[in-house]
Amino acid sequence: MQPNIGQQDKWRPGYSEIAAQRLAQLSMEQRPDGPRLLFWPEAAVTNPMLDERSQPYGAYADFERARAASLVGPGDYLLTGGIALFSKDKIAVSGAANSVFVFGQGGRLVGRYDKAHLVPYGEYLPMRPLLSSIGLSRLAPGDVDFLPGPGPRTIELPGWGKVGFQLCYEIIFSGQVVDRRNRPDFIFNPSNDAWFGAWGPPQHLAQARLRAAEEGIPVIRSTPTGISAVIDAHGQVVQSLPWRTAGYFDGTLPPPAAKPTLFARFGNVLPLGIGFLLVIAAIALGRTGRYRRNT
């Protein structure tokens, strides 16, 4: 789903209701006969979907989860970006996570992935005691820093296979996008490319295509303003929605490569090794040229 919600609107007070209606409309516009996977963007739901504080905050989060999961039918799964709030004393917020929630029928929480590579000044304020004392703050709304997750995670979706997650610009980290002990069948890469104007979305899409080709694993991208896409295991874009367009596309999951690619088996050792050999070859050729001139 691509609801075409710009950054100027996303966190505006009261806009969460409009966003929820738009996502629900896109999700129910075409209902296939069989089960489906629904993909929503990063922070598609701006109100917390998990809140460890006592009531009424926990009830608000329960409502958000129930509203989103009401669109999930038998055999369906909803994969959506959302926010989790943590509390050590059930009163104050002690931290937050930029997360992907996976819901099954009836609002059952199948799993959650917490973003590991956080953006400084966007998702947390480095050296907060010092910088906050001189008036600096995060670029994104809120005073609570996000906490990093443990890294790549794979979740089993019965009937669909295994899904891995990379939230937003995590997909740029070559060799760090999958759990190598439990490789997924596809990667979900929700993002909020509305931050990055016209130049960011094509660049981000290109990076996602590289990761798909490196790992031999298809990538599904869902963003609020584009470019949302389905990328096959060879890095080719199978379906996409243009920038600043509201809509959705309905398709089938591309299969992963029949066997792991060389990169999937050896990671960045391959390009580093090739680079090292090229440096040695350049040194050797340079010395050979100097020797010939001297003789």
Distance CA 216, CA 234 (A): 6
Which tokens hold the place of 114? Answer: 């917490």
Report long-range pairs for 127-136 (Cβ below 8 Å, ≥24 apart).
none
Q: 137: part of which helix (H) or strand (E)?
A: none
Secondary structure string (H, E, C) spanning 78-91: EEEEEEEEECCCCC
Return the residue matching tokens 């874009």: 237
The catalytically annotated residue of 10, 42, 64, 215 is: 42
DSSP string, 102-133: EE-GGG-EEEEEE-SSPPBTTTB-TTHHHHHH
DSSP string, 12-23: STTHHHHHHHHH
User: Is 42 labeled as catalytic in the residue annotation?
Assistant: yes
Neighbour count for residue 200 (Cβ, 10 Å):
16
The catalytically annotated residue of 115, 170, 214, 215 is: 115
User: Is 90 labeled as catalytic in the residue annotation?
Assistant: no
| Of 145, 53, 142, the residue nearest 91 (C-alpha) | 53
Distance CA 13, CA 155 (A): 34
User: Is 10 labeled as catalytic in the residue annotation?
Assistant: no
The catalytically annotated residue of 10, 52, 168, 170 is: 168
| Beta-bridge partner residues of 2 | 247
Distance CA 155, CA 113 (A): 9
Give the Cα-Cα-Cα angle 57, 58, 64 (nearest 5 degrees). Answer: 95
Q: Which residues contact 63 (CB under 8 A, 6 or more apart)?
A: none
Active-site annotation, residues:
42, 115, 168
